Amino acid sequence: MKFQFALSIAIALSAVAAHATGIPQERANQDVVAGYYAGLDQVDALEAQGKARVDFVQKLCDRYIAPGYIQHSAMMKNGNGRVALVQMLAGQAKMKPPPGLAAGEQLPPSKLLAFAADGNYVIRVNAQTIHGRTTLVWNMFRLENGLIAEHWDSISGTAMAPGAGSSGSPPGAAPPGGLASPPARAPGG
């Protein structure tokens, strides 16, 4: 199962890397996703459930998330949209810790394995090791007008529940309408 997941990621990243042109818009899209993750790291540091955490999450989402945000994840119990994401992130400190961590134990830093863009899509793959057990976390984002408009994820090769999100697309599946094909390049270009 882990091998299949790793192989799927390798194939997807190879396809993205083969087609990515390194155009400024792709780099800008990667910067948006990187900025969002940097903000998420700060949210994790705000353990208290007070107004400061809610305010920070709201500002983070206003800066990086489109109002009509679509999340394809079983974790989103409040539905889609920026408001639902703010509610989920602001309440995360109340959630039980991930498997392998005791209550109150800090999540160790993850290792970035891959970060690539193709047009309006950005893929980010991390490895998270907890007590010697490594979990792969795959994320794909679709950006629109400089904001994250849609997100798919998968953890350790186990896709989130089918039917999650508004389209019902499981993580790893192409978004509705499929991925746009990049323009053909001249040989050697």
pLDDT in single tens digits along all 189 residues of the chain: 555 555 555 555 555 554 555 689 999 999 999 999 888 877 766 665 566 778 888 899 999 999 999 988 776 777 788 888 888 777 765 555 666 677 666 677 788 999 999 999 999 999 888 777 888 889 999 999 999 999 998 887 443 333 333 333 333 444 444 433 333 434 444
Helices 51-64 and 24-45: crossing angle in degrees, nearest 10, is 170
Tell me the pTM: 0.67
Q: Are 116 and 13 in contact (CB under 8 A)?
A: yes
d(Cα 189, Cα 180) in Å, to the nearest integer?
A: 20
pLDDT of residue 83: 85
Mode of pairing for the β-strands spanning 65-72 and 147-155: parallel
Tell me how far the alpha carbon of residue 91 is from its chain's centroid: 18
Tell me how far the alpha carbon of residue 136 is from its chain's centroid: 12
pLDDT of residue 172: 40
pLDDT of residue 85: 84
Domains and CATH numbers, the chain: 2-98+109-159 (3.10.450.50)
| Dihedrals phi, psi of 111, to nearest 5 degrees | -110, 125
What letter represents residue 105's amino acid?
A: E
